[in-house]
A and B are shown apart, each in its own frame.
Chain A
Amino acid sequence: MNASSTRDFLVGLFVLAGLLALAYLSFSIGGLQYKGTGGLTVFATFDQIAGLKPKAPVEIAGVKVGQVTAIRLDDTYRARVDLNLDKDLRLPVDSSAAIVTAGILGDRYIQLSPGAEGSFLQPGEQIAYTESALVMERLIGKFLVNVGDKPTQQDGETPKEIP
């Protein structure tokens, strides 16, 4: 009986340790959260999202306040990005959203700049002001075109219009 109860104790200890390890993996490392009634869901449309992915963070002043939940094409061929923000976040209606890059080639995330209006965005509403992602290749392309144009101007010909 004594041997059996020691054994049961060890089994209990094993199960407890295993469950603790699972909980650590799920909650602390996996970031599983007990979701109450969801957060503030709003959306924004962009001309170009250039590699923004679902689950990308949404930040205000560098502080993470939510994440991208879904990205799809809307009827006007713009990218519609759904954001899930912290439930108690109050965002003025004239806030703007920009897609920015961490470092030069890093991951893209969304940066929100709060506006100054007194009324706040309600769940399901749209962030009207957006700034699309900068596409590095396109910038380099424009730069090269501009550099290529310069010598022709110096030769005294009529300056070309730079698009």
Chain B
Amino acid sequence: MAVLLRRLGHFVGNVIEGLGYIAAFAGHIVAVTVRPPLRWREFLDELFKVGVLSILIICVSGLAVGMVLGLQGYNTLVRFGAENSLGAVVGLSLIREMGPVLTALLTTGRAGSSVTAEIGTMKATEQLDGLRMMAVDPIDYVIRPKAWAMAVAMPLLSALFIVMGIGGGYVVGVGLMGIDSGTFLSSLENAVDFHDDVAGSILKSVIFGTLVGLISTYRGYTATPTSVGVSAATTSTVVLASVSVLIFDYFITALWGV
């Protein structure tokens, strides 16, 4: 019994200690952000890697998800004779849940893992130490542009995902199933409200972007500087970021009702 309690205590202590380290890390990023120079060049390069290179996977996935939603939604709604609400079903589920969450999960796998691997390899090959030798703070020079790029790219990618998804739902509903085009769009526009749905969707994707950016850079920065350590850090980024995105999603929905 005492052993179990000691283990539990140890575990909780570790979790709290880890949260403290992440918070200090986040504080460090914020502190170097408000301090010039702006490092605009590095930020743009990271935005290219995180954002532009993710466009294809985001758009294809969005289209596929929207088409599936259209098909499944139609088959369910037609039983109740409510297939005219297909636009509302597709739009609301994409905007409120699937857009932000699936984008965050996809971006974690596509970009978050590579951010961790890159930083971890820089650590393993002592490049971060080299920067320190030159009196350059690696958090300022390496971490900050990557974390910010993730936070900025996420809402934009999520919006693209949702628009592609609505397009996919439209193609299936109007093109394949023969719902009237105006019916689809007016049901979509009547159901979706900016303050209730779209603002919450943007809030979610901003929070997820910050979360994924923070976790992936932190895991890379604290990776054990060996090849095994880098691979473990990459795995841990994908697992931790995906799980925390899903858990945060629940709490954001529960607290703010979006």
Contacts and interface: CB of A to CB of B under 8 A. Distances in A.
Given A14-B156, A31-B193, A25 B51 contact: no
Interface in A1-41: 7-8, 10-11, 13-15, 17-19, 21-22, 24-26, 28-32
A18 B189 contact: no
B157 A29 contact: no
A32 to B, nearest CB: 4
A15 B44 CA distance: 11
Contacts of A24: 163
B48 interface: yes
A13 B188 CA distance: 27
B146 to A, nearest CB: 14
Nearest to B159: A21
Contacts, number: 73
Contact of B55 (A14, A22, A55): A14
Contacts of A31: 189, 192-194
Q: Is the interface of A mostly helix, strand, loop or mixed?
A: helix
Nearest to A15: B156
Interface in B33-47: 44-45, 47
Interface of B: 44-45, 47-48, 51-52, 55, 91, 95, 153, 155-157, 159-160, 162-163, 166, 188-189, 192-194, 197-198, 201-202
17 contacts: A7-B52, A10-B48, A14-B52, A14-B153, A17-B55, A17-B156, A18-B153, A21-B159, A22-B202, A24-B163, A25-B159, A26-B198, A29-B189, A29-B192, A30-B194, A30-B197, A32-B194
